[in-house]
Structure 1
Amino acid sequence: MQSPQVYSVTARVIHWITAAGVLTMVPAGIVMVNIGSGALQNTLFDFHRSMGVVLFVITAIRLMYRFVVPAPPLPSSLPIWQRTLAQSTQGLLYLILLVNPLVGWVATSAFGAPISVFNLFVLPPIVAKDQALSEVLFSFHTALGILMAVAIVLHIAGALYHWLIAKDGVFQRMTTGTNTAAADASTPQGR
């Protein structure tokens, strides 16, 4: 069996910062649209918008880094359907992490609300106030968010499969950076 190559420390750090951001931003988005108006809702809107901006920037940096330092290839021993699903899911996540913040920015501009990024600066509106446009774009933003949640579940399920069931070292490519499959293969039986 071919041993999986690992991601660089930089790629792993960016991945886990992105994961932490997404796993806090998405629940904040769900809660903010399902609670009544008030201070908590306003705080959640500000947090959600701020994280969207931060995640857009981090994703852009991650893709530029990946252009310079390509991702290690998946082991050729993986079935083609697993490699295809992994690459498709990852591509979808990148796409949504770039597109959805822009859709949210346009929708929020059309709604007429400011986008304060952690109270450090305010993004300028990029379209005039237009309630009908805002409603359409927020619906699209929500649909992309749901699609992202599905892709995240697939991504996590695949990672857990490789860690707990296949135990093929693919999971460790993005966690410890160690190649446990190669270490296991080189360890003599009985030790």
Structure 2
Amino acid sequence: MAHQVAGYSAMAKTYHWIVAILVFIMVPMGLVMTDLGPGALQNTLYFYHKSIGILLFLLVVLRLLQHWITPAPPPPASLSPALRIVSRSVHGLLYLVLIVNPILGWIGLSLYGAPIPFFGLFDLPSLVPQDRPNAEGILDFHATVGVVFAWLIVLHVLGAFYHWLIAKDGIIERMTTAPYQKPKN
């Protein structure tokens, strides 16, 4: 059955899909680079992991500002209260990780004394004085949050497939083809 739903703004959709593509590059890269031995490939993956992490952080901050200016459309009436809670929780945790984990990486690398390049254009300044013994704990926590993030992505994608293929309730169109509708105050 076709459902008429209000979509997100074109800008919100653009941010969503750019962030999604970068995340689908970033997460596997982060998982692989830590298992490689030292060498050119590992160094290249670390370089791009840091650069993409900075870019993701900036895009998510812009997305949150844009969300404040252009609020999300109202959820469809067909969405059950339980699914609304699950949806809000998963989305909230995704945003939290997309903000917190790059900062953890930045702090960890600052403690380690490693450069934090942005695609070779410039390096981010160190946030804290070098302290290698504490760097390991922060970077381990950064990696753990990355694994949690991967599971949140799995939940998000499974939810999208559920709405698209099983419920067929129009939810997937909110982030694809449905026109934007500003929420009523």
Into which bin does the TM-score normalised by the smaller protein fall?
A: over 0.9
1:124-182 superposed Cα distances (whole Å, 9 cap, x missing partner)? 11111111210110111011111111110110000001111111110011022369xxx
Aligned to 1:81: 82
CA separation in 1, counterparts of 2:122 and 2:176?
34
| Alignment match, 2:183 | none
The percent of aligned pairs where both chains have the same amino acid is 47
Amino acid paired to 1:30? L
Amino acid at match of 2:73: P
Question: In the comparison of the two structures, how many residue pairs are matched?
Answer: 179
2:63 maps to a residue whose letter is R
After TM superposition, which residue ranges in structure 1, 4 or more long, deviate above 4 angstroms? none
**8 A Cα contact 1:112 1:129, kept in partner:** yes
In 2, Cα distance between equivalents of 1:110 and 1:34 = 21
Aligned counterpart, 1:92? 93
Structure 1 residue aligned with 2:33: 32
Quick check: 2:6–2:74 contact (8 Å CA) kept in 1?
yes
Q: Are the equivalent residues in 2 in contact too, given 1:2–1:77 (CA < 8 A)? A: no
Instruction: Give the match for residue 60 of structure 1.
Output: 61
Residue 129 of structure 1: SS of its match in structure 2? coil
1:91-130 per-residue CA deviation (whole Å, 9 max, x = no partner) reads 1111110110000001001111101110011111111111
Partner residue in 1 for 2:153: 152
Alignment of 1:129-168 (within 5 A): 129-168=130-169
Residue 18 of structure 1 corresponds to 19
Shift in Å at residue 9 of structure 1?
A: 1.0
Which runs of 5 or more residues in structure 1 are unaligned?
180-191
Q: TM-score, normalised by structure 2?
A: 0.93
Q: CA deviation at 1:3?
A: 3.3
User: In the aligned structure 2, how far is the partner of 1:144 from the partner of 1:35?
Assistant: 20
> What's the C-alpha RMSD, in Å, of the aligned pairs?
1.5
Q: Distance in 1 between matches of 2:52 and 2:128?
A: 21
Under a length normalisation based on structure 1, what TM-score does the superposition of the two structures give? 0.90
Shift of 1:2: 7.2
The higher relative CO (CA closer than 8 Å, separation ≥ 6) is in 2
